[in-house]
Amino acid sequence: MPYPRGPISAGLFAALGSSGRTPPTVDVAAAADPYGEDLQLALYALYELHYRGFAGVADDREWDPVLMPLRQALEGRFLSALRADVLSGRSTDEAFGELLIEATDQQGSVAHYLEHEGELWQIREYAALRSLYHLKEADPHAWVIPRLRGRAKAGMVAIEYDEFGAGRAENVHAQLFADLMTDLGLNTNYGHYLAAAPAPALAVVNVMTLFGLHRALRGALVGHFACVEVTSSPGSRRLAAAMVRTGAGSAAERFYDEHVEADAVHEQVVRREVIGGLLADEPHLDSDVAFGADATVHVENRLASHLLNHWQTGRSALFSEQL
């Protein structure tokens, strides 16, 4: 467990460490900053119980009814903020019409910055923070598979098969990212850099877990998944160039080179089969798919602003501990 960052995470960690301790009340969660360090870390910790968990925390705490009111309050606070901060009522065509055209102004792009100006220490920080996402990248998306059928399910499984290495463990995309981290001299242990991750980096992971765990948000998860696949190829091309320019290493280059090619194909499948199939079956989810994409852009932009605001003034973007 990382160090707590406020009363919610402190109370939660105490409760996770001892079954006799009760977690904070929902009133505390309702008053918290939805994007703040305390709420995002506490929500991340509760969500991690559905992945690999924490040392010293029993497996059966995953669905402990004592923890559920706090989790519901935290994710409700986060989800309400997302709904308030992104455009409402948009269609999927409107949301993805913007994503399919790369912006001419790249001033707020982390990939553009790293390609042209980034230093190796900044690339190492980026990889460390992104490891919280990439070492579990395809996992929460798999939760939507039993909630789909027909074209949407077949398309989703086809893409996930690639993400999980097409049957070869060394080609699992999470392993390719771990190889990238090795090139950069980083610790590849799952979750190692949680303590270093600021709230905007935690929110990027929390949003996909939030969508993944709720059947009611299946449309939003498809929107998140599609947004990632549609925007990945151009960004990966820039990041691959950054790896070459800074001499990050062959495995670092391979990870992004792989995503340039693979995600260009995935983009077509996810738009035509996954989104197309889902909306053919459930047209009422159109605005939910758009919300998932828009919420993804929103949290990614918040992380980009955090990184660039620190790096452009020569400061570390990490919350704590130097790499």
**pLDDT (tens digit per residue) in 88-134:** 889 999 999 888 776 666 788 999 999 999 999 999 999 999 999 99
Q: Rounded CA gap, 318 and 306, in Å? A: 10
Percent of the chain with pLDDT over 90: 80
Return contacts of 112-119, CB within 8 angstroms, 24+ apart: 112/238, 113/308, 113/311, 113/312, 114/238, 114/239, 114/242, 115/238, 115/239, 115/241, 115/242, 115/245, 118/242, 118/246, 118/311, 119/246
Chain centroid offset of residue 24 CA = 26
User: If we measure between CA atoms, which residue out of 222, 199, 48 comes closest to residue 135?
Assistant: 48
The per-residue pLDDT for 123 is 96
The per-residue pLDDT for 103 is 65
Quick check: 59 pLDDT over 90? yes
**Domain limits, the chain:** 7-84, 89-311
* Cβ pair 149, 143 in contact under 8 A: no
Phi, psi for 259 (deg, rounded to 5)? -75, -25
The per-residue pLDDT for 37 is 98
Exposed, middle or buried by CB within 10 Å (0-12, 13-18, 19+), for 314?
exposed
- pLDDT (mean) for 300-307: 97
Please give the C-alpha separations between residue 300 and each of 112, 199, 306, in angstroms, as whole numbers: 14, 12, 10
User: If we measure between CA atoms, which residue out of 231, 235, 252, 234 comes closest to residue 243?
Assistant: 252
Quick check: 263 pLDDT over 70? no
pLDDT tens, 61-70?
Answer: 999 999 999 9
Please give the C-alpha separations between residue 41 and each of 18, 73, 279, 295, 319, in angstroms, as whole numbers: 19, 14, 34, 19, 12
Q: Rounded CA gap, 303 and 297, in Å? A: 10
Average pLDDT, the chain: 93
pLDDT tens, 141-196?
Answer: 999 999 999 999 999 999 999 999 999 999 999 999 999 999 999 999 999 999 99
Q: Which residue has the tokens 């070492």?
A: 135
Quick check: 318 pLDDT over 80? yes
Tell me which CATH code domain 89-311 carries: 1.20.910.10
- pLDDT (mean) for 281-289: 97
Quick check: 19 pLDDT over 80? no
What is the pTM (predicted TM-score) of this model? 0.95
pLDDT tens, 205-238?
Answer: 999 999 999 999 999 999 999 999 988 888 889 9
Counted residue by residue, the chain has a size of 323
Percent of the chain with pLDDT over 70: 98
The per-residue pLDDT for 267 is 82
Quick check: 261 pLDDT over 80? no
- Residue 193 CB neighbour total at 10 angstroms: 25
- pLDDT (mean) for 245-254: 90
Of 135 and 20, which is predicted with more confidence?
135
